Structures are given as structure tokens and as C-alpha cells.
Amino acid sequence: MNIPFPFEPMLIFGALSVMLLIGAYLRNKLRFFQYFLIPSCLLGGILGLVFISCGILKIEASALETFAYHFFNISFISVGLSGSNEDQPDTIRARDYLKGSAWMAVIQSISFSLQAVIGGLIVIVIGLLGFKLFPTFGFLLSLGFEEGPGQALSFGKVWETVGFDHAATIGLTFAALGFLFSFFVGVPIANWGIRKGLTAQVPGSLPRHFLKGIVPKDHDKEPAGNLTMHSGNIETLAFHAAVIGLVYLLSYGFTIMLGKLLPPDMAKMLWGFFFFIGMAIAFLVKLIMKKLKIDHLLDSGLQRRITGFSVDYLIVSTIMAIQVVVVWKFILPVALIALTGGLATTIMVIFLGRRLFSYNIERSVTIYGTVTGTVSSGLLLLRIVDPEFKSPVAVEVGIMNLFMVPVILGYSVLINAPIWWHWSLSLTVGVFGVALIISLLLMKLLKLVEAPKF
């Protein structure tokens, strides 16, 4: 049959949607997934990967990577447009949470540099044994664990243009393995903290709808947001999507213009930083709207729903984009780097978490979920030990992200040093080692550690 319109993009979107629905069903029905709080997007992505590997679904990995890349950028643009959390009571002030936020930010810095050192050193050792890998191979551990699938994919695709074959698939594999650490190690740690009485709150059993992931018919529903436009003019959701589209175009234009001013290799790398450029321009657009006194047209609650929507589709598409044949080819270095990095990250978070000044288990599980998965993973783990978010940790996570913007930008530049400035891998790993030492010293200088609590 001659079909007059191209359906491929919408068919792929439909396949991703079906995987999300199946994931939601599995989470609702199977206690194993409920116990470990495995989100639907991860379940659906793994099942979709199995279907693609078995030939049941026929979708090109490049098409899934394209979807994932754009959803990743949209999620960061939406974060930039979200603004402050109006739901917090007036008594909450950012300065009250600076110490806890600083601790989690320093942990993130330690984690990124630690994972980069481990990944780089293993690549060097494997190279000495005769198995040559691209210099930045090991740094995908930091991108996949610390920054999540979006950034691993983003940098991976750019590195493929400079000779790192299959970088995107390898980065996505590290991200998927990071999620496994986040839930299959993080949940038992949280439950152990409860059994030992280490929580400031005394959580009872988690509500069934939280475990199942579906709110019952007769349960009170949380509002998604507020309408800021009259539907007779433009639907509020369409208005929010239109502002995201505006920022996307501005970000694209800025990236193109900036690329013309840089050497070709650096210009290619800019597309790996598109998410950051988009978020920065989103902040600027939000600021301009505030100056014009029209920032109330963007509802933070609805904007967060758009962010969550983007992240769900990002994760399901990135997991499905993993090419099993490629992973099997590099199974030894991937497994060695992921297991060593995951174990070291776990030990580091527990070691420093024991020496926290307060809310030890709450902050520890939250940051553990963040440095092995995403911020959403961290908040899920926090929900186990602090079901009603009575501790300050949920607010501290937001402030932590502000601290981390320049740090992550700097680390993202540093991992490109072997490509941009032709640094040796040993030199780059050495600089990350210095950053690790500085971060550890900073933890001490800021008096963020005390005697072990447990």
C-alpha cells in the first residue's frame, strides 16, 4: 500500500509508549519490582531491548538515540523554565539548607572524579595488556552513572564522530548498569537504615499505591499544575510546549553560531553540550519573562510534569537503543569498569554518609541514587526513609543542583581533554585525581564530616 505520509517517527513513539504501559503494568502486578521501586521506564526499556534483540521489534538504534537525545535536551530546558518551587512553605529558606546541599554537592564532585579515575586507570591497565580502547572509554562510567543516560548518549554520539566507535551504546550500557546499582543496592541500604533505627523520621510501611505505582480510584489525587491560559485562546499545555520550542530554536541557533567561531573538533563537541546551552537560555528566557512581569504564565507544577514526561521517554528509549552485539564485544572492560566503579561509589557514599552531621541515612541514600542513576532515583530512595519528605533533604537536592552546574560543566570539559587538547590519558586521569583530592579536602575544610554515627 502506498502511504502518503511518513509514519516512522510516530510508530517509534508508539512503540516507546507501549513499552512504558507494559512497564507500568509489571510494576503494578509484581512484588519484586515493587520492593526495589523499579520505575516503569526502566522496566519498559529492558523489555523493549529484549524485543529488539529477539527481532520482535524492528527499530534502528540510531532512531531511538535521536529520540533520546531530544528528550534529554527538552528535560533540561524544562528544568530551566521551571523556576522556584512555590509549593514550599514561606518558612523554608535556601540558607537553612546550605550545609546539607553543600555535602551532597561535594559528594557528587567526589563521585564524578572517583569514577573518572577508576575508568581511566582500568583503560590504561587493559591497554598495557594489549587491548587498546579509545582514551575516553572509561570516562563513560562517570557520564553514565553520575549524569545519567542522556549525557552519556549526548557525548557518546559526538565522540563517535571523532573515531570512538559505538560510544553511544557503551555509554547507555553504563547508564543502565548504574540504574541497577541505584535500585538493587540503594533499596536494601535504605531498608537496612530503617531496621537499624537510623532515620530521623519513623517511617511506617510505604502506601500500596506508591509501591504499585498507580493511584487508586478513590484516593486523593495530587494536582498536576495550574492553568495559566484560557483554553479559548490557547491550551496551557500547548503554551508551555511552545515556550520549550522557542528555547530549542534559540539554543540551536546559538550552537550553530558559536560553532562557526571554534575549530572543527571543538565545534562538533558543542552538540554534546546542547543540553547545557538549552538550560542556560531557558534560565535567560525565564528571567526576561520575570522582568516583563509575565513569568506567572509558566506554571512550575505543570513544567515539572513536562520534565518528568521527557525523562520517562528518555530512559525507555535509551535502554532500548543499547546494541547487545556491541556490548558483548566490549563486555570485559564494561563489566570490569562498571563493577569496580559501582563498588567504589557504594563504599565512598557509605563511608562519608556515616560521618554526616545529621540526617545520615536520608542524605546518603538520596545522593547514592543520584550518583548511580538520576535525581529522580535519589528521591525515590529518599521516599523509603522519609515517606512524607519531612526532612530538609528533598529541598537540599534542588539547591545542590545549583552548586553543581559549574562543577559538572568543568568536568564535562575535562573529559574531552584527550580529544580537544590531545592530552594523554594518564595526564587527564592525574588531573581528575587532583580534583578528587581537592573535593575530599573541601569536605574537611567545610566541616561537613564528623565522627562516625553508625
Could you identify the residue written with the cell 528521591?
A: 379
* Whole-angstrom distance, CA of residue 100 vs CA of residue 396: 6
Grid cell digits, residue 16: 516507546
Of 39, 48, 42, nearest to 19 by C-alpha is: 48
Is pLDDT of 170 > 70?
Answer: yes
- Conformation bin of residue 202: beta by default, left when phi > 0, alpha when psi is -120 to 50: beta
pLDDT tens per residue, range 429-441: 999 999 999 999 9
Percent of the chain with pLDDT over 70: 95
Is pLDDT of 203 > 70?
Answer: no
Percent of the chain with pLDDT over 90: 73
Is pLDDT of 83 > 70?
Answer: no
* Whole-angstrom distance, CA of residue 338 vs CA of residue 32: 24
Q: Are 368 and 346 in contact (CB under 8 A)?
A: yes
Interval 377-383 mean pLDDT:
90
Grid cell digits, residue 127: 591497554
Indicate the pLDDT class of residue 21, thresholds 50, 70 and 90.
very high
pLDDT tens per residue, range 137-166: 999 999 999 999 999 999 999 999 999 999
Predicted pLDDT at 85: 47
Of 119, 107, 139, nearest to 436 by C-alpha is: 107
Indicate the pLDDT class of residue 407, thresholds 50, 70 and 90.
very high
Indicate the pLDDT class of residue 326, thresholds 50, 70 and 90.
very high
Lowest-confidence segment of 205-219, 237-251, 319-333, 350-364 by average pLDDT = 205-219
Q: C-alpha 153: how far from its chain's center?
A: 11
Predicted pLDDT at 211: 86
